[in-house]
Chain A
Amino acid sequence: MNTAVPYALVGVGLFALGFYALIVHAHLLRKILALNVMGSGVFLLLVALARRSGVALPDVVPQAMVITGIVVAISATALALTLMLRLAAASGRAELPDGRED
């Protein structure tokens, strides 16, 4: 069995776990963390799959993608946290408004 496969499976597992947490938790901080876990899952998968069987050096393209992905994830998380704080200040709760507005 390829050594990369367990890492890739863990990556997919993290993605699924994060998705579950995103759905079930109401608090926005938990939702934002769940998205970060999902992101880590994708990054782990990318890095793991970069090592192909039979090639000595890992492929650098997925690693470049991970770096880009991390930059995107940081910006997204920063925006999400700011929005959460503003929402909590405006509505008193760090949760999504349930139901529709009038």
Chain B
Amino acid sequence: MAAPFIDLPWGIILILLPLAAAMAAFLWPSMAKAVGLVTAVAVVVAVVGLGWQLLDHGLYRHAIGGWGAPLGIELYADGLSLLMLMATALVGFAVSLYAAAYFKAEDAARFWPLWLVLLGALNALFLAADIFNLYVTLELVGLAAVALAALTGSATALGAAMRYLLANLLASLAYLLGVALLYHGFGSVDIAILATRIAPAPVAFAALGLITTALLLKTALFPLHFWLPPAHASAPAPVSALLSALVVKASFYILLRLWLELFAPLGAGAGIDALLGLLGAAAVLWGSVQALRQSRLKLLVAYSTVAQIGYLFLAFPLALASSVAVWSAVAYLALAHALAKAAMFLAAGNLLRFGGHDRIADLDRAVQRLPLTTAAFALAGVSIMGLPPSGGFVGKWLLLEAALTQGRWGLALVMILGGLLAAAYVFKVLGYAFTPAAVAHKSTAVPASMEWAALLLALAAILLGFMAPLLLPLLGIGEPFGANGAGP
């Protein structure tokens, strides 16, 4: 029917539009907010367009400027890329709505260009088809994220941002060294070409070690998570939401993609999948316990991210036996966490603005005074705990099912314990939200759009639970998890 609409080059638009908008927002600060909001909506439209295209034609491949692999740069999208782009567009839209009310004059002029660069870089990352292009986009994402984390300019935030930057740059260089080795060993950077050539040679194992470690550091898997809680907790609320929901997922996406296409046979032989599973289990337990121990709301939410990232890695040792089900579960879990965690950080930002602090013990009847925000926090908590009918439930249930059918009782136990601990820290917050504090505090009004943005994301995380029959086939486009053949 609407053929011209479908055939627009959506992949290109997804990258160029935010970058052009970032430039415009930087040059004309007075229009930054309007430009940012329009771009956020346009990106949602473009992702829908791309999804339509994928449903129509299957895989999306585009050689930029007519120069394809092996020399040129190619864009590539399958179901997995589409899911990540959807998460980015949705979270990006809600956070933009929130940020429009959150940032005033000068801060707004700094926030919008950086956020739009981050948006363009994330989209480019999810569409990249070669490992060097992934390096460039990963670096762009990292630099924009660090600059955003430093936005408040306080000594705490600057220190956290500096630590974040050093960890990021170290990881990028290790990744680049891995890329250099892969190119030397197998003569290409295109993932599809590499997938046909890679062989268990020493150079491949060296690259596997370097690239995996680099991406674990960027994804903040325990014990490489040291930079995450301070950076995510000291950033302004909309930035925390973006960092926890999207930026961490970007490096995880690269790891997943490279693991699926290149490293799975090598890594499984060397026991790396078991190691990743073990670290994931440690992250679930350690992150949850740390979250429970925090007295500040934003640090609690940040440690919860450390724990939830662990879940994504529990899949690696399970994937050998039932790969499609397990990887679909992981993708679903990543999407659900992106929505729920963004909602939690936005809700935490509302509480912080409302009471002027984020001490959990002094939430002082927030449930009566900020009902929408507290509802958003509770609904997001339902998805984080993995209770039905949320998106988090679907992902965790599929993982748990795989662990049980394979008889991996240890992993199953960790998943259940992690859920219980998550319930404990969510209810700790909600408990204080229902009780009056000993001393009354002054409060500041919170704009309605900030409350609704948080609630919108939390509702989306819950609705995700009902969307599984719709989304799982979408995820299967191009068979990223190798149902009957290779992916890209």
Which A residues contact B (CB, under 8 angstroms)? 15, 19, 22, 28, 31, 35, 38-39, 41-42, 45-46, 49, 61-62, 65, 68-69, 72, 75-76, 79-80, 83-84, 86-87, 90-91, 96-97, 100-102
A-B contact count (CB 8 A): 89
Is there contact, CB below 8 Å, between B169 and A76? yes
Option from B155, B169, B180, B229 in Cβ contact (under 8 Å) with A80: B169
Is there contact, CB below 8 Å, between A35 and B170? yes
Is there contact, CB below 8 Å, between A96 and B163? yes
Option from A22, A38, A76, A90 in Cβ contact (under 8 Å) with B155: A90
Is there contact, CB below 8 Å, between A61 and B162? no
- Taking CB atoms, residues of chain B closer than 8 Å to A38 are 170, 173
B180 to chain A, nearest CB (A): 5
B140 to chain A, nearest CB (A): 8
Is there contact, CB below 8 Å, between A76 and B230? no
Which one of B53-61, B145-153, B333-341 contacts A? B145-153
User: Which of A45, A68, A87, A102 counts the most B-chain CB atoms under 10 A from its CB?
Assistant: A87
Is there contact, CB below 8 Å, between A87 and B230? no
Which B residues contact A (CB, under 8 angstroms)? 71, 132, 136, 139, 143, 146-147, 150, 153-156, 158-159, 161-163, 165-166, 169-170, 172-173, 176-177, 179-180, 183-184, 189, 229-230, 234, 296
Query: Roughly how many angstroms separate A86 CA and B129 CA in the complex, as a whole number?
Result: 37
Given A35-B169, A79-B165; A86-B158 close (CB under 8 Å)? yes
> Please, which residue of chain A has its CB at the minimum distance from the CB of B138?
A72
Is there contact, CB below 8 Å, between A39 and B184? no
Given A31-B166, A35-B170, A79-B147; A45-B156 close (CB under 8 Å)? no
Is there contact, CB below 8 Å, between B180 and A49? yes
Query: Roughly how many angstroms separate A46 CA and B296 CA in the complex, as a whole number?
Result: 46
> Please, which residue of chain A has its CB at the minimum distance from the CB of B169?
A35
Query: Roughly how many angstroms separate A38 CA and B170 CA in the complex, as a whole number?
Result: 8
Given A49-B180, A101-B230; A39-B155 close (CB under 8 Å)? no
> Please, which residue of chain A has its CB at the minimum distance from the CB of B185?
A49
Is there contact, CB below 8 Å, between B162 and A101? no
Is there contact, CB below 8 Å, between B155 and A61? no
Query: Roughly how many angstroms separate A62 CA and B170 CA in the complex, as a whole number?
Result: 20
Is there contact, CB below 8 Å, between B158 and A91? yes
Query: Roughly how many angstroms separate A31 CA and B166 CA in the complex, as a whole number?
Result: 8
Option from B136, B159, B183 in Cβ contact (under 8 Å) with A62: B183
> Please, which residue of chain B has its CB at the minimum distance from the CB of A83?
B162
A54 to chain B, nearest CB (A): 13
Given A61-B183, A79-B146, A87-B159; A35-B153 close (CB under 8 Å)? no
A18 to chain B, nearest CB (A): 8
A82 to chain B, nearest CB (A): 9
- Taking CB atoms, residues of chain A closer than 8 Å to B163 are 96
Query: Roughly how many angstroms separate A39 CA and B139 CA in the complex, as a whole number?
Result: 13
- Taking CB atoms, residues of chain B closer than 8 Å to A35 are 166, 169-170, 173
- Taking CB atoms, residues of chain B closer than 8 Å to A49 are 180, 183-184
Query: Roughly how many angstroms separate A35 CA and B168 CA in the complex, as a whole number?
Result: 11
Query: Roughly how many angstroms separate A22 CA and B162 CA in the complex, as a whole number?
Result: 13
User: Which of B132, B156, B173 counts the most A-chain CB atoms under 10 A from its CB?
Assistant: B173
Is there contact, CB below 8 Å, between B169 and A97? no
20 A–B contacts from the bound complex (CB under 8 Å): A35-B166, A35-B169, A35-B170, A38-B173, A45-B177, A46-B180, A49-B180, A75-B143, A76-B165, A79-B143, A79-B146, A79-B165, A80-B165, A83-B146, A84-B162, A86-B153, A87-B155, A90-B158, A91-B155, A101-B230
